[in-house]
Amino acid sequence: MNKYRRFFIKTFSSSILLSGIFFSFVSLQNQKFLKKIKKTKFKNYVWYLDKND
C-alpha cells in the first residue's frame, strides 16, 4: 500500500473514532442532565426542578 494512502487512512479513521467518542459523550452528558430534571405539580403550576432541589 502506498505510504500516503496509509497515512490518510490512519488520520481519517482516528479522527472519525475521536469525533464518535466526543459526540456520544456529549449526548450522554445531555441524557444525564435530562435525567436530573423532575416536574412537580403544586397548586396551580408544574415546577421544573433539579432532582437535588
Residue ranges binding another protein (CB under 8 A): 33-34, 36-37, 39-50, 52-53
Quote the least distance from Cβ 15 to another protein, whole Å: 24
Least distance between another protein and beta carbon 33 (Å): 6
Query: Given the complex with another protein, which of 15 and 31 has the nearer CB atom?
Result: 31
Distance CA 15, CA 13 (A): 6
- Using DSSP's 3-state secondary structure scheme, residue 41 falls into strand
Q: What is the DSSP letter of 24?
A: H
Give whichever of 5 and 53 is closer to another protein, judged by the CB atom.
53
- DSSP H or E segment with residue 5: helix 3-36
